[in-house]
Chain A
Amino acid sequence: AQQCNGIYIWKIENFSGLQKAQEEERPVVMHSPGFYTGKPGYKLCLRLHIQLPSAQRCANYISLFVHTMQGEYDSHLPWPFQGTIRLSILDQSEGPERHNHEEVMEAKPELLAFQRPTIHRNPKGFGYVTFMSLQHLKQRTFIKDDTLLVRCEVLTRLDLNS
């Protein structure tokens, strides 16, 4: 999971257990392992929440954010991070008619989220509070074998220049 040419797939297992916790109003927040956007590359991780039924405005939504992490190439990389990040929840249907749920976002270099991290994981992330509703999750095969697949594809400005 560490080197992936800019594509990382995060397998979240036991999703029914997470949903049960959420239904019982227990907060569900998870971080992915760190992954590199290339070699050399930026170290990033994903943060996923299942918002509680009692949450204001974002109840029963999956929130998804990207965080920068301290990585082994940081001193050789341009900062702030600049590039394009495509976040997807993968449709695991059999056959050709797959409809992933996707959003594409452009890094905003003026934000703290894209500065070189000064601690293990930058507390500031960038992404979507209302990435996808739990209702929408039921409409296709987004859960298979009790597993949710989250994909993150990163194209950095470094990639574009090389």
Chain B
Amino acid sequence: FPPVPTEDEYMD
């Protein structure tokens, strides 16, 4: 199955 793109938060 194809991976699904998602929103992802990253703070330094």
Residues of chain A having any CB pair with chain B under 8 Å: 29, 47, 63, 65, 67, 103, 105, 108, 111-113, 123-131
Contact = CB atoms under 8 A, between A and B. Distances in A.
Interface of B: 2-3, 5-11
Contacts of A126: 5-8
Interface of B is mostly: loop
A113 B5 CA distance: 12
Contacts of B11: 123
Nearest to A127: B5
Contacts of B2: 103
Contacts of B3: 103, 128-131
Contacts of A129: 3, 6, 8
Most buried by B among A112, A123, A131: A123
Nearest to A85: B5
9 contacts: A65-B8, A65-B10, A103-B3, A112-B7, A124-B7, A124-B9, A125-B8, A125-B10, A129-B6
Nearest to B5: A105
A15 to B, nearest CB: 21
Given A113-B7, A126-B5, A126-B6, 12 more contacts: A29-B10, A63-B8, A103-B3, A123-B11, A125-B7, A125-B9, A126-B8, A127-B6, A128-B5, A129-B3, A129-B6, A129-B8
A29 B11 CA distance: 11
